Amino acid sequence: MSPVTAKPACKPAPAKQIRVMLAEDQTMLRGALAALLGLEPDLVIIGEAANGREAHRLAQQLKPDVIVTDIEMPEMTGLEFAAAIKDNGLAAKVVILTTFARPGYLRRALDAGARGYLLKERPASELAEAIRRVHAGLRAIDPELAAEAWNTEDDPLTDRERHILRRAGDGQSSADIAAELRLSEGTVRNYLSEAIAKLGAANRVDAARIARQRGWL
């Protein structure tokens, strides 16, 4: 009887790695996220950005599968960044990672094309799973926050009012805002007056406070 030759065991094909880019202005947090997600065998961090404009440039250059971004970032917010990814026709799917558990922000994130919305207090394992879900074409959103989002009042601000009110809330004068956005001071004051009236606020600072509380800024 001829000896039986053992066949080598078939090794499973390695899972395709998901190429992830991080956009977060806090250096320590960004480094921690990169280290934790880098431990996942199917995730690879291909780029990191410290502000919205840098993130936009890197996304166009690196073409990641998934982008994890904060909302509050210098030069371009995470929501503006997500909208730019959508408008530019890039294939990257966006996951918002933020401290803001506010329905207004979630609604704006979804309108901007984001596929995921998670809070920073969640474990890294949940973020990794969210990345896998959005990469597979699904959504990854906290169900309670999602349900609450569609029961809140609509955002009354236009994008221009939002941009100007955000800068006013950060302490910029009408003259500074006008110079930055290439508008007249009178136009800036008109936009601020409209925003203040829509929000029923006492002044521009109060309007910015109300808009931030509701996730509209």
Residues in the chain: 217
The answer to whether the CB of 106 falls within 8 A of the CB of 146 is yes
Cβ contacts of 54 within 8 Å, gap of 6 or more: 23, 75
**What is the CATH T-level fold of the domain 159-213, as seen in this structure?**
Arc Repressor Mutant, subunit A (1.10.10)
Structure tokens at 49: 């950005």
Q: From 60, 95, 101, select the one nearest 79 (Cα to Cα).
A: 95
Q: How much is the pLDDT for 49? A: 95
87 CB neighbour count, 10 Å cutoff? 10
Q: Would you give the distance in Å from CA 51 to the centre of its chain?
A: 11
**What is the CATH T-level fold of the domain 18-149, as seen in this structure?**
Rossmann fold (3.40.50)
Cβ contacts of 114 within 8 Å, gap of 6 or more: 79, 82, 94, 95, 96
pLDDT, average across residues 36-54: 94
Q: Where are the domains of the chain?
A: 18-149, 159-213
With pLDDT > 70 as the criterion, what percentage of the chain qualifies?
Answer: 88
Q: How much is the pLDDT for 216? A: 81
Q: Given the structure tokens 């109300």, which residue do they identify?
A: 210
pLDDT tens for each residue of 152-179: 667 788 888 888 888 888 888 999 888 8
Mean pLDDT of the chain: 85
CA distance 34 to 177: 35
Q: How much is the pLDDT for 153? A: 67
Q: Given the structure tokens 């609450």, which residue do they identify?
A: 148
- Greater confidence, 145 or 180? 180
